[in-house]
Structure 1
Amino acid sequence: MSPRAAGSAGTPSSGNQTYGTLAFVESPVQLLNVLEWAHLNAVQEPEPGAGLTAVASEPGGGLGGILTLVVLSPTDPMTRGQLRRMAELARNEGYEVRWEEARGGTAAPFQTIGGLAGALRRARRIVMGDPFSRYVQLLLTITKARDLVVVDDGTATMEFVGQLARGERLVRWHRRGGRPGPRDVLFAPVSASARRRLTPSEARQVEIFSSMPISSPPEGVRVTVNDFSWTRARFGPPRVTKGADLVGTSLVETGVVDLDRYVDAVTSLAKTHGATRYFAHRRESTEKLHRLAVETGLEIVRPDLPLELIARRGPIGRTILSFPSTVVHTLPLALAGTDVRVAVCDIDPTWLTQNASPRAQGFLSGVTGTARDVTRLQAVTGVA
């Protein structure tokens, strides 16, 4: 059943209104996973006598209803484009969508936080897509919500779970080790406060909604499996072609993998498996993609939606080739019941840059080793 949207963008909320759930997302995949979480929990159904608004924040919009989905918009054009397409899907589900220009200038963070403070204090539940985000961590210091939910932000969820269980400071896996920088030191009290709030207690429940393998969650944390039931219900099954498609990664852009090694590996994989298309990650640089097109002959595809939806809509190759990334866990779920095979190629240690985090190789190996229903390929050897 589609939800009933009671409010509309531009309608101010009541000052004493109680909010059910506030969800904060900063990427298309996070927004997709909030929709999956809402589908599983049926939060789109209105409470008796109450309306529903799902807000992915649009300037001037009001907040209200059972689920308020707030997009803290980034500045990257590709990410913004995919987010807007995901917002359209949310609207098609019956949700109202609102957009926060959270990074649109020096004053934007203060305006965004100020505008959300009242809703944060009244919300009963907070859903977040990126617990590593400084923006989200700052917002967590304001809320009094008793229920906190973390939905997948890709493989970073695996690192978050481990750090929370060990009581470590929250830091992304690809960040190089060593002493924290000046900004880290200044933000440390906020990050520590967020970590405490994400630790279950008698006054607070914490849930992780994930398609990642989580074998040892922190004590008291409830884990709910994301099987992409919303995606499979809304899209497909896809038309499956005879060829192979290759999925790109931003490991070069994050400083983990050497550019030349990566290009050589992609060239070898495409030749060996007969791949014809390369689905670019939204953070891959234009320069790198141009080089890949010239040197490999692959058709470069810039998806306008998360790959799980692109693959489910089709057409898609019978074999999908990927390096260690989120999709080796999510695509087998989204494509369940089809003849598509997902194959993952390991990252050879010699591909790593000098600036790669000491944890990089172990983390990437773990991403591959814990993937289910995939074919493992050995790292490409003999590349220059």
Structure 2
Amino acid sequence: MARDRSCAGAAASGPGSVAAAVPGPREGALAFVESPVQLLNVLEWAHNHPAPGTASPLTLVVLPPHDPMTRGQLRRMAELARDEGITVRWEEARDGVAGAAKSVLSLARRLRRATTLVIGDPFSRYVQLLLALTPSRAERRVTVVDDGTATMEFVAQLARGERFVRWHRKGSRGGVRGLLFAPVSRRARRRLTPGPDGSHRVEVFSSMPVEVPENVIVTANEFAWTRARFGPPRLTKGADLVGTSLVETGVVDVERYLEAVAGLARAYGATRYFAHRRESSEKLAQVSAATGLEIVRPDLPLELVARRGPVGRTILSFPSTVVHTLPLALAGTAVTVAVCDIDPAWLTRTASPRAHGFLTDVTGKARGAHRLPPTPQQST
């Protein structure tokens, strides 16, 4: 496993020799994102890999889903990207087969010419299709930026040579559609597998605790752009609680979740509930009625919202991405990030057998977060 904290872009040459022009990682870079968190991490990657000169050669392609909360956050993040001098393309690739085909055709030339491909979600079938259609070139680098805790599972599956399957999905075959898509997925996985001689370079730019396969470059995402761009925040006296979409993904029972949120709010004096962008309005109404918490729908990823402030001196969370990212984004402040484990009794009968082990791993590897004792509901 290689560790890379630099961004050298040209081969050194001795006296009298001719230097070979080796593209830097941001020269001719093409990035694909489908969520606000992915877009944030592309901005962090761009900050970590500064472009030569004053112009940015990075083109950012936004592939928005249909839900309005995600689209709104993506539009706000796209504005920040443009402020950083990055070219942004908004592609409605999910408007059926015709929309996907139109987007692929419009991007074909850029895909052929790109020296670096930056992707936020290697599990995405659309991204896998783009990777499969990209011609293989020895000098091309593929970079995977964080898509939250899913990066941990992606890296583990890549190391084991397994088919890419999201951790919360029950089963691994994906039905008939999965079988039909399998050849594309295998080709994409080859694009994400580094060559043993270093000819095909793969980078993982991550704030997650990942152990990656041999020959993969790991670059630490320390949220330097976020800290430089925003804050430090004003701190409030109370605690804030971070919501999760584990109910929406079918992992946690809604009644158990409401009991756990109410227990945390009482125990730690929480006053606000920062909703996950995928949480349903119906569930949020239940949270408000059961706890009295003020429901906040952030218009940006929580790392930026917390950094701008105001934010509580304690941020409470269930196992999720933020228990890894918030300690980095809020470094140098007096904010404490605390994580509450998911009790096995909270899981639904349809939850993936891997769910509890994965969530426990997320908590156990959170270096900058404090682990909370069991809530009253957990200890009874």
Q: TM-score, normalised by structure 1?
A: 0.88
Q: 2:300 aligns with which of 293, 297, 305?
A: 305
Structure 1 residue 173 corresponds to structure 2 residue 167 = yes
- What residue in structure 2 maps to residue 59 of structure 1? none
- What residue in structure 2 maps to residue 13 of structure 1? none
Moved more, 89-98 or 69-78: 89-98
**Where do residues 285-364 of structure 1 align in structure 2 (5 Å cutoff)?**
285-364=280-359
Structure 1 residue 283 corresponds to structure 2 residue 274 = no
**Where do residues 117-156 of structure 1 align in structure 2 (5 Å cutoff)?**
117-144=108-135, 145=137, 146-156=140-150
CA contact (8 A) 1:121 1:142 kept: no
Moved more, 216-225 or 329-338: 216-225
- What residue in structure 2 maps to residue 100 of structure 1? 91
- Shift of residue 380, structure 1, vs aligned partner: 2.5
Question: Per-residue displacement from partner, 1:1-54 (whole Å, max 9, x unpaired)?
Answer: xxxxxxxxxxxxxxxxxx7110000000000000000001103x448xxx54xx
Q: 1:111 aligns with which of 102, 106, 114?
A: 102
User: 3-state SS of the aligned residue for 1:265?
Assistant: helix
CA contact (8 A) 1:128 1:149 kept: yes
Q: 1:38 aligns with which of 16, 41, 46?
A: 46
Question: Per-residue displacement from partner, 1:318-349 (whole Å, max 9, x unpaired)?
Answer: 00000000000000000000000000000000
RMSD across aligned positions (CA): 1.5
Extract unaligned runs of 5+ from structure 2.
Answer: 1-26
The 1:138–1:178 alpha-carbon spacing in structure 2 relative to 1, beyond 3 Å, is closer
CA contact (8 A) 1:246 1:321 kept: yes
Q: 2:205 aligns with which of 194, 202, 209?
A: 209
Q: In percent, how many aligned pairs have the same letter?
A: 71
Q: Within 1, Cα distance between the matches of 2:303 and 2:295? A: 17
Structure 1 residue 87 corresponds to structure 2 residue 81 = no
- Shift of residue 143, structure 1, vs aligned partner: 1.6
Q: Within 2, Cα distance between the matches of 1:120 and 1:323? A: 38
CA contact (8 A) 2:263 2:376 kept: no
Q: Within 2, Cα distance between the matches of 1:110 and 1:205? A: 28
Amino acid paired to 1:207: E
- Shift of residue 179, structure 1, vs aligned partner: 4.2
- Shift of residue 261, structure 1, vs aligned partner: 0.2
Q: Within 1, Cα distance between the matches of 2:42 and 2:352? A: 30
Provide the aligned length of Structure 1 versus Structure 2. 349
Q: Within 1, Cα distance between the matches of 2:332 and 2:49? A: 23
Q: 2:227 aligns with which of 232, 235, 238?
A: 232
CA contact (8 A) 2:265 2:271 kept: yes
Q: 1:251 aligns with which of 230, 246, 249?
A: 246
CA contact (8 A) 2:244 2:276 kept: yes
Extract unaligned runs of 5+ from structure 1.
Answer: 1-18, 53-65
Q: Within 2, Cα distance between the matches of 1:313 and 1:125? A: 32
Q: Within 1, Cα distance between the matches of 2:172 and 2:236? A: 47
After superposing on structure 2, the runs of 4+ consecutive aligned residues of structure 1 that deviate more than 3 Å are none
